Amino acid sequence: MNDIHSRIEALRAALGGRLAILGHHYQSDEVVAHTDYRGDSLELSRRVPELSAGHIVFCGVFFMAESAAVLAREGQKVHTPAPEAGCTMSNMAPAPLLAAVLESLGRAGRRVTPLTYVNSSAEVKAVCGRFGGSVCTSANAKTMLAWALGQGEAVLFLPDKNLAANTADTLGLSRDERHVLDIRALGSRLDLAAASRARLLVWPGCCSIHHRFRARHVAEARAAHPGCLVAVHPECPDETVRAADAAGSTSFLIDFTAKAPAGSTLVIGTEEALVHRLAKQYAGEKTVLPLKDVRCGNMAKTTPERLAALLETLDRAEPVRVAPEIAESANLALRRMLDACARA
Ligand code: 13P
Ligand code: SF4
């Protein structure tokens, strides 16, 4: 083991049960090697309240660490080695704009339940909590959209228009029951007449990484590797999901690869750190190829050096803080998700 890795392991050993390190599947192999738990967004958020460690270090992007902080028990501190690691999709939904849009829809007489993808700020989750809504992840989006549709007249799904379309497709919601909101000019251009007819109102955001995976890439992969199986993340455009053999969360993609027969060729459409890890893991048994090589620059901001630097100063490091009034409403939204999924 090189210096940095032995330093991290020594720090982990010294902290023992006081520390738990969580890592998202998009973290690099060098970071993942030091995690106690690895998972998709749903698995990691479920894990947090069960942990007994006083210090939780979240290797991922900021909204994930923030959700962990909202779900953490009294006295637990959540840290992240790269607090500036944002998410392009999360940035597309500012909380004041969401609140303004919900208020306009409400004034127009619509009872709308907001459902935010977990890739959003704590403030956005708090607005959803206050308006009777909840949160979903890519792994439970179908369950949660069905839940939200059962709450009122319409659902506002945000920020990901691709996950919205793909989930609506799995529920069989027809195209004319959906309406993509025009949120420009601070929400003053909403088409309230169109919004009043739709059951699913869609925020026009997307992931700058997954939006690049196109149906033509799937066609090219099938031409280059006849008989290959293609699986993609549901943040990809709906045309890409329809062209693929399967779609699901990062954990689904891992499972799909594990279950594919020996000798198969799998083409996976998601962030490259995960695809390269799967390719290494199954080398000699199955061929795993990226649909396209794309790295999430924000996920890459967590490095072994930054993890070591955080662990060295953990007792005096500033944890992730969420203002109590935001945390309370965001917690309500997240708890509704955990409860609805426990019942499903
Ligand atoms: P998962 O919930 O599937 O882990 O995805 C999170 C994410 O940010 C994908 O871009
Ligand atoms: Fe956000 Fe996309 Fe990166 Fe996931 S891959 S963290 S959605 S920018």
pLDDT in tens, the chain (344 residues): 579 999 999 999 999 999 999 999 999 999 999 999 999 987 898 888 899 999 999 999 999 999 999 999 999 999 999 999 999 999 999 999 999 999 999 999 988 999 999 999 999 999 999 999 999 999 999 999 999 999 989 999 999 999 999 999 999 999 999 999 999 998 899 999 999 999 999 999 999 999 999 999 999 999 999 999 999 999 999 999 999 999 999 999 999 999 999 999 999 999 999 999 999 999 999 999 999 999 999 999 999 999 999 999 999 999 999 999 999 999 999 999 999 998 87
Q: How many angstroms separate the alpha carbon of residue 87 from the centre of ligand 2?
A: 5
> From CA 187, how far away is CA 99, in angstroms rounded?
10
Ligand 2 pocket test: pick from 203, 207, 292 the residue with the most ligand atoms within 8 Å of its Cβ.
207
Q: How many angstroms separate the alpha carbon of residue 16 from the centre of ligand 2?
A: 31
Edge-to-edge strand list for the sheet holding 246-247 = 246-247, 229-232, 265-269, 287-290
CA distances, 303 to each of 68, 88, 273, 283, 299 (Å) = 20, 20, 13, 25, 9
**If we measure between CA atoms, which residue out of 272, 259, 251 comes closest to residue 38?**
251
235 lines ligand 1 (CB under 6 A): yes
Edge-to-edge strand list for the sheet holding 19-24 = 37-39, 19-24, 55-59, 77-79
Q: Write out the two tokens for 166.
A: 């793909």
**If we measure between CA atoms, which residue out of 231, 229, 51, 39 comes closest to residue 137?**
39
Ligand 2 pocket test: pick from 121, 271, 292, 293 the residue with the most ligand atoms within 8 Å of its Cβ.
271
User: Number of C-alpha atoms within 13 angstroms, CB side, residue 280?
Assistant: 7
Q: How many angstroms separate the alpha carbon of residue 90 from the centre of ligand 1?
A: 12
Q: How far is CA 126 from the centre of its chain?
A: 17
Q: Which domains does the chain possess?
A: 2-86+300-313 (3.40.50.10800), 89-208+327-343 (3.40.50.10800), 210-295 (3.40.50.10800)
**If we measure between CA atoms, which residue out of 93, 1, 103, 7 comes closest to residue 305?**
7
Q: How many angstroms separate the alpha carbon of residue 98 from the centre of ligand 2?
A: 20
250 lines ligand 1 (CB under 6 A): yes
Ligand 2 atom, smallest distance to 296 CA: 3
Burial class (CB in 10 A: 0-12, 13-18, 19+), 2: exposed
**If we measure between CA atoms, which residue out of 287, 247, 252 comes closest to residue 266?**
287
Question: Which residue, by CA, sits nearest to atom 2 of ligand 2?
Answer: 207
> From CA 13, how far away is CA 35, in angstroms rounded?
12
For position 342, what pLDDT does the model report?
A: 86
Question: Which residue, by CA, sits nearest to atom 3 of ligand 2?
Answer: 296
41 lines ligand 1 (CB under 6 A): yes
128 lines ligand 2 (CB under 6 A): no
Ligand 2 pocket test: pick from 162, 206, 296 the residue with the most ligand atoms within 8 Å of its Cβ.
296
40 lines ligand 1 (CB under 6 A): yes
SS3 of 334, please?
helix
Question: Which residue, by CA, sits nearest to atom 1 of ligand 2?
Answer: 87
Ligand 1 atom, smallest distance to 253 CA: 3
> From CA 125, how far away is CA 116, in angstroms rounded?
7
For position 45, what pLDDT does the model report?
A: 81
For position 1, what pLDDT does the model report?
A: 57
Q: What is the DSSP letter of 332?
A: H
Q: Which long-range contacts (C-beta less than 8 Å, at least 24 apart) are formed by 44-47?
A: 44/68, 45/71, 45/118, 45/137, 45/334, 45/338, 46/338, 47/22
80 lines ligand 1 (CB under 6 A): no
Q: How many angstroms separate the alpha carbon of residue 243 from the centre of ligand 1?
A: 20
**Contact call for residues 111 and 102 (beta carbons, < 8 A):** no
